Amino acid sequence: MLILISALINFTLYPNKLDPKRPPKRILIIKPDHIGDLILAIPAIKAIRFAFPRSRIIALVGEWCLPLTELIPEIDEAIGYRPGLFARGRKSGLSERMKLFAQLWDGRFDMAVDLRPTWLSVALAASKRFKWRIDRSSHRLRMKLRGRASIWDHEVERNLEPLKMAGIPTPSHISLSLTIPKHIKDNVDEMFDKLFTRETGPIVAFHPGSPVKLKRWAPSNFAELGDRLWEELGARVLLVGSRSEVDISREIISMMRHKPADLTGRTDLLTLAGVLERCDLFVGNDSGPMHIAAALGVRTIGIFGPSSPERFGPYGERCLAIRAELDCPPCMSERCPFRAEGCIDEVKVEEVFRAVCDSLIKQ
């Protein structure tokens, strides 16, 4: 319903093309989504910055993504929001939403780029607070009506397509990037000096967590993989994750013969990015850290269960997504009707180990 309303507003109130003689001075990019989704919008944000180098770009993002915007230099200012559709835990209350609506109402934005509509952004669009509005929902609906939209289009492409439709040039070579500040790099250097004092060999980061249980590869698989990497490749394993994932890492450590370094719950988002940049390889579930690693140019192996690697896989030449070949297609479900562990349990350690070997050999 929200997507249809968003598209209807765009079709009736806003022009299809921008006026090249009147470049927007203030641009609002709307993406109050998950960490990985914001990262997959970086090429679109880059394209907007390239097209309008003198414009001020303000991003409306999930509150949990605010630190991440510090690593995206194309964003001049960021505003946090906790929409009910994406927030895990506390959601923005009515008074907070009204205050935010008033703030955006007074923002004097010339253009909005709505890459993930919410009722708040749709209400702003309906009130005609923008001269131009680029809406991903409208574009996807138009493509579906013409029979030209694929359900497997990658999120990077889905974010870029409406820009092309509006006449904004997009890069021929699409890449993700994050810029780590020097003080973060220095802190991580000190951290690694303490974690890896004598060992040599490649550092492989494991992220075994995910907010969605069906997206978690079994801890026993990570433990077996970690021991094999140490014994056969001399690789050092580093566990990363949020505070809510500490128990998962502890379970893995308890099953490993060769104890890994563990930073689970001990880094904020910016430090985590700095840590991943220092690693030679990332192995983990479909999650924010996976996309952060990919955006930093780290060799990345994503292990997938129900979600589609074609649409949500790590993006880049140094990335690989592994999903078991199954009869059932990818889905967005958080509960599997066929198996308690979900389809991710069908991904075998041997397959991931071979992929790790291939990735490290190519370095």
Q: How many CA atoms lie within 13 A of 322 on its CB side?
A: 21
| CATH value of 182-362 in 3.30.230.10, 3.30.360.10, 3.40.50.2000, 1.20.1250.20 | 3.40.50.2000
Same fold, 2-165 and 182-362: yes
d(CA 15, CA 272): 42
Instruction: Tell me the per-residue pLDDT of 53-74, one tens digit each, with 9 for 90 and over.
Output: 999 999 999 999 999 999 999 9
Residue 86 has pLDDT above 60, yes or no: no
Instruction: Tell me the per-residue pLDDT of 185-197, one tens digit each, with 9 for 90 and over.
Output: 999 999 999 998 7
Residue 213 identity: K
- Quick one: fold of 2-165? Rossmann fold (3.40.50)
Instruction: Tell me the per-residue pLDDT of 232-243, one tens digit each, with 9 for 90 and over.
Output: 999 999 999 999
b/e per residue 130-154 (b: at least 16 CB within 10 A): bebbbbbbbbbbbbeeeeeeeeeeb
State phi, psi for 135 to the nearest 5 degrees: -125, 120
pLDDT of residue 89: 61
Q: Quick check: pTM over 0.75? A: yes
Domains in the chain: boundaries:
2-165, 182-362
d(CA 339, CA 333): 13
